[in-house]
């Protein structure tokens, strides 16, 4: 499971010109699910993202987590994160989980995040989504299980 997280001052997801998920200050998460991923991996990654210290403390150091600053989490499924780009001029998606496997893991991730944290918004799994964001910093990290 791959999580690309971005610290944002705001982010939203639209589908067919309708906003389906939106947060103010917090984390925008692009979530890629691979063939070998399991429910335990989604729980571990959810905890790690919520507790990852990327927000500034009183001294301006990245010492606070999303839960500590009570920020929002916007989760967007993104199978392209699982692409193999090591060779050639076209990505291979052979390591990406099939939709029938990825959807339940995505839903498990979101459910677990909801249990641990109050403000969780999502895109729509498998939809053609447009994502707007204001990256804060910019601060962007890739987390993997």
CA atoms within 13 A on the CB side of 26: 23
d(CA 42, CA 68): 21
Catalytic residue flag (residue 122)? no
pLDDT at 19: 98
Catalytic residue flag (residue 78)? yes
Exposure class string for 17-39: b at 16+ Cβ within 10 A, else e: eeebbebebbbbbbbbbbeebee
Nearest C-alpha neighbor of 102 from the set 3, 34, 30: 34
> 2-144, what's its fold?
3.50.80
Band (145; pLDDT cuts 50, 70, 90) = confident
pLDDT at 119: 94
pLDDT at 118: 85
- Is the pLDDT at 69 greater than 80? The verdict is yes
- In the set 78, 109, 122, 125, the catalytic residue is 78
Per-residue pLDDT averaged across 83-107, rounded? Answer: 95
Per-residue pLDDT averaged across 25-54, rounded? Answer: 96
Per-residue pLDDT averaged across 89-96, rounded? Answer: 95
- In the set 19, 68, 80, 144, the catalytic residue is 80
Q: In Å, what is the CA distance from 83 to each residue of 31, 33, 138?
A: 12, 10, 24
- In the set 30, 79, 109, 125, the catalytic residue is 79
Q: Where are the domains of the chain?
A: 2-144
d(CA 93, CA 124): 20
């Amino acid at each position: 499971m791959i999580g690309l997280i971005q610290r944002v001052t705001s982010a939203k997801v639209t589908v067919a010109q309708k906003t389906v998920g939106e947060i103010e200050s917090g984390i925008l998460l692009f979530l890629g699910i691979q063939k070998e991923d399991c429910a335990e991996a989604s729980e571990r990654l959810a905890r790690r993202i919520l507790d990852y210290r990327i927000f500034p403390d009183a001294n301006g150091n990245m010492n606070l987590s999303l839960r500590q600053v009570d920020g929002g989490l916007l989760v967007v499924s993104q199978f392209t994160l699982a692409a193999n780009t090591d060779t050639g001029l076209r990505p291979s998606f052979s390591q990406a989980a099939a939709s029938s496997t990825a959807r339940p893991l995505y839903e498990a991730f979101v459910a677990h995040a909801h249990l641990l944290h109050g403000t969780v918004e999502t895109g729509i799994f498998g939809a053609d989504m447009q994502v707007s964001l204001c990256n804060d910093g910019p601060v962007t990290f890739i987390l993997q299980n």
